[in-house]
Each structure stands twice: as structure tokens, then as C-alpha cells.
Amino acid sequence: MKTILAIESSCDDTSAAVIQDGWLLSMVTANQNVHKKYGGVVPELASRAHQANIVPVIDTAIKDAGVKISDISAIAFTRGPGLLGSLLVGVSFAKGFALANNIPMIEVNHLHGHIAALFLKEKGIAHTDPQFPFLTLLVSGGHTQIILVKSFFEKEIIGETIDDAAGEAFDKTAKILGLPYPGGPLIDKYSKLGNPKRFKFSKPKVGDIDFSFSGLKTAILYFIRDEHKKNPNFVKENLYDICASVQFSIIDILIEKLTNAVLKTGIKEVAIAGGVSANSGLRNRLKAEAEENDWVLHIPEFKFTTDNAAMIAMTAYHKLLRREFTEHTVTAEARLKDI
Ligand code: KG4
Ligand code: ZN
């Protein structure tokens, strides 16, 4: 049996998971609340929290999986991209664990992991893998890309943001509105109570499958500043409509670009991945578009959208089958490329 223990520590979630012969057995994630009041992740605080959380998180993942340490065939970890101090905690733990148990290490690119989340399966839960080639809209706090996935290991980025990521657009809007970090989940929640057509924000002018969100952020900033001058209670009185309108604008941009990518490539097998794919408005809109345009749509299970070690474990499982192991001299890479 091939059993992998995986660690994800690239940003502010400390996560561990165990996968056996391609089936997920356990996943444990400790979220860090320390960043809420700062409007974004504070790298130094994130590293410390990882250091405090990593041993109990791993211990629980192994126990939940019902395996023994001696059953583990390899230890996987996120090498990058991400925050260096956060990555170092996971990489260093993996080295210690590999040496102590005399097992190989497997490095994983975090973005590859988000795509691999689409292939995660658990016993007793219905699941359909995407068929190659397929398009993935990868939308997270750090990335916004359209990726042509040709096989598990062959990918091509065919469109991407020229500035901010979609998740940043949510998080920065939340900050402007005085909401805590991360902004996405709260904006999602408030949007359900508001009118998405109340306020209009103009669309960016970039290539047909590229993205830009910095203009939207500035437009929101100026809009709120101007309205605040007229009515100091503007945000409070219109919070739900503002959230719904901003979310509608972000989703509209994402859908337009994805539609362009489908038309350009002729590929109708379509998937989403990354933290923003948790957004209920985006998920609903995608389902409607898929229905209308005959796309075969793959949406990861909610718990696999934001950062988690299960997706790292799944990527590592495929690497284990190819015997792609990592040397003990490996270092964390904040800007790791080559997904
Ligand atoms: O993939 P992820 O956990 O971390 C990165 O690799 O960046 O994505 C985090 C991002 C944050 O920007 C967060 O606000 C956003 O995902 N996010 C959401 C939702 N849940 C998380 N954005 C919109 N709606 C949500 N429900
Ligand atoms: Zn991520």
C-alpha cells in the first residue's frame, strides 16, 4: 500500500493529510485567527503559528487516518510558492520526519496542488475526475490564472492577472469596508442579502483571457470615499448592496475571461480551483453558464477549495507513482514557478 503524509504551510493555514492508494483518509487544518484584525496575513505571525500548530495537526491527521507512522511510505510538503517563513516550517518538519523514519520526501508546487484538489476522492462519496485536456480557472489569494491542463503533469498557463489576484480583490475590498481578513467569505455571505445591480463598476481593459483587478480596487476606494463625504454612514447603511455589487463585478470578469478561453481553445471540460472557488455566487453562476453552453463543469468540494494538505497529498501520490522524490538539500521557494 502507498501511504502519504502531506503538509501544507504556504500561507496562514497549517494543514496535514493522509492519502492511501489515492484515497483520502484524513485531513486536519488549523486556521490562524491572529491575522483577522490586520486586514491581511502578517508573515512573522504566520510562521510562529505554523510552528505551534504543526505537531498537533500532524499527530491528529495520522490518528484520524487510522494508520501507524511505520505505514507511511513518503512525506510530502509544499515547497512554494508562498511565504518563505511559513514554507520553511513545513519543509523543515518534512526533512526531520523523513530522516527519522527513513522514508523519501516529495515536494509539491502549491498551485499544482489546487488543481489536484479536483481529483480528490473519499470512500463513500461520489466523485468524477475531470477528463484531459481541461481548462481550470485557478482563483486564490495570490493567483488568478486560466490553465490548460493537458495531463496530470503537463500544464500551460494561457491567461493570468497582470496585477492583483481575484482573492486580493475580495480581501482589499473588505479592508476598505472595514471588514476583517479574509474578506472573501464575509463578502460572499453579505452578498446573499444585497442587490448585485445596485452599484456598477467598469470592467478592466486587458487581453481577452488576461485579468486585472487593481483598477476595480481603486474604483471601489474612490467610490466609497466620495459617498462617505456625502453620508458618513454610507457603508453601514449599504453594506449588503456594496458587497453584492463588488462580488457581481468580480464574478462577471472571471466568467467573461473563462468563456473567452473556452471559445479560443474549443475545450468545454471546465474546472475551478483555489480559495475563491469557494464563493457561492461564482459556483452558481458557473453552473448556469455550464448548463447554457454545454460545459462539463468540475467544482472541488467546498473543504478542498481553500488551502489544505489533501491537495498536496494527491499531487504527491501521482509523483510517488513516478518515483519523483526530493533530495534532503531542498529549500523552500517563495516564488516557485513551473507548475
Ligand atoms: O487558495 P487560498 O486558500 O490561498 C491562496 O493560495 O491564496 O485562497 C485564499 C483566498 C482569500 O483571498 C480569500 O478571501 C478567498 O480565497 N476566499 C473567498 C471565499 N473563501 C475564500 N473569496 C470569495 N468567496 C469566498 N467564499
Ligand atoms: Zn492556495
At 55-76, the pLDDT tens digits run 999 999 999 999 999 999 999 9
Element spanning 312, H or E: helix 309-321
Cα–Cα distances in angstroms (integers) from residue 91 to residues 8, 125, 135, in the given order: 9, 31, 30
Judged against a pLDDT cut of 90, whether residue 21 lies above it is answered with yes
Query: Can you give the pLDDT at residue 53?
Result: 97
3-state DSSP assignment of residue 60: helix
Distance (Å, rounded) from C-alpha 137 to C-alpha 258? 7
Judged against a pLDDT cut of 80, whether residue 4 lies above it is answered with yes
Query: Can you give the pLDDT at residue 37?
Result: 82
3-state DSSP assignment of residue 85: helix
Q: Cα(67) to centroid of ligand 1, in Å?
A: 31
Task: Tell me which residue has its CA closest to atom 13 in ligand 1.
Answer: 184
Q: How is the beta sheet containing 13-20 ordered, strand by strand?
A: 23-31, 13-20, 3-8, 74-80, 105-109
- Please, what is the Cα angle at 76 between 74 and 77, to 5 degrees? 155
Segment among 33-47, 82-96, 215-229 with least mean pLDDT: 33-47
Atom of ligand 1 nearest to the CA of 165: 12
Q: Cα(167) to centroid of ligand 1, in Å?
A: 5
β-bridge pairing 13-20 and 3-8: antiparallel
Work out the average pLDDT over 193-205. Answer: 94
Q: Cα(198) to centroid of ligand 2, in Å?
A: 31
**All residues with CB under 5 Å from ion ligand 2:** 140, 307
Atom of ligand 1 nearest to the CA of 171: 14
At 173-198, the pLDDT tens digits run 999 999 999 999 999 999 999 999 99
Cα–Cα distances in angstroms (integers) from residue 140 to residues 41, 119, 182, 225, 278, in the given order: 14, 18, 11, 27, 10
Rg of the chain over all Cα atoms, to the nearest angstrom:
20
Atom of ligand 1 nearest to the CA of 10: 6
Residues with CB under 6 A from ligand 1: 11, 140-142, 167, 170-171, 182-185, 188, 274-276, 278-279, 306-307
Distance (Å, rounded) from C-alpha 163 to C-alpha 172? 13
Q: Cα(52) to centroid of ligand 1, in Å?
A: 23
Question: Which pLDDT band holds residue 19 (cuts at 50, 70, 90)?
Answer: very high
Q: Cα(181) to centroid of ligand 1, in Å?
A: 10
Judged against a pLDDT cut of 80, whether residue 339 lies above it is answered with no
Q: Cα(168) to centroid of ligand 1, in Å?
A: 8
Q: Which residue has the cell 458618513?
A: 232
- pTM given for the model: 0.95
Specify the CATH class of 3-120+304-321 in words. Answer: alpha beta
Q: In the chain, what percentage of residues exceed pLDDT 90?
A: 95
Burial 154-189 (b: 16+ CB within 10 A, else e): ebeeebbbebbbbbbbbbbbbbbbebbbbbbbbbbe
Distance (Å, rounded) from C-alpha 99 to C-alpha 266? 48
Identify which of 215, 198, 211, 305 has the alpha carbon closest to the alpha carbon of residue 255.
211
**Fold type of domain 134-299:** Nucleotidyltransferase; domain 5 (3.30.420)
Work out the average pLDDT over 269-296. Answer: 98
Quick one: which ligand is closest to 8's CA? Answer: 2
Judged against a pLDDT cut of 90, whether residue 133 lies above it is answered with yes
Question: Which pLDDT band holds residue 44 (cuts at 50, 70, 90)?
Answer: very high
Task: Tell me which residue has its CA closest to atom 16 in ligand 1.
Answer: 275
Query: Can you give the pLDDT at residue 297?
Result: 98
Q: What's the longest Cα–Cα distance across the chain? A: 67
Break the chain into its structural domains and give their ranges.
3-120+304-321, 134-299
Same-fold call for 3-120+304-321 versus 134-299: yes
Which residue of 173, 246, 276 sits with most ligand 1 atoms within 8 Å of its CB, as the best mutation to test the pocket? Answer: 276
Task: Tell me which residue has its CA closest to atom 14 in ligand 1.
Answer: 184
Q: Cα(276) to centroid of ligand 2, in Å?
A: 9
Atom of ligand 1 nearest to the CA of 278: 26
Task: Tell me which residue has its CA closest to atom 22 in ligand 1.
Answer: 184
Judged against a pLDDT cut of 90, whether residue 33 lies above it is answered with no
Q: What is the mean pLDDT of the chain?
A: 96
Element spanning 298, H or E: strand 296-298
Element spanning 156, H or E: strand 154-160
Judged against a pLDDT cut of 90, whether residue 36 lies above it is answered with no
Say if residues 270 and 135 touch (Cβ distance below 8 Å). yes
Atom of ligand 1 nearest to the CA of 82: 6
Say if residues 98 and 88 touch (Cβ distance below 8 Å). no
* Sequence-separated (6 or more) residues with CB below 8 Å from residue 242: 177, 194, 198, 199, 224, 235
Distance (Å, rounded) from C-alpha 205 to C-alpha 211? 9
Work out the average pLDDT over 267-288. Answer: 98
3-state DSSP assignment of residue 305: coil
Identify which of 283, 218, 217, 220 has the alpha carbon closest to the alpha carbon of residue 255.
283
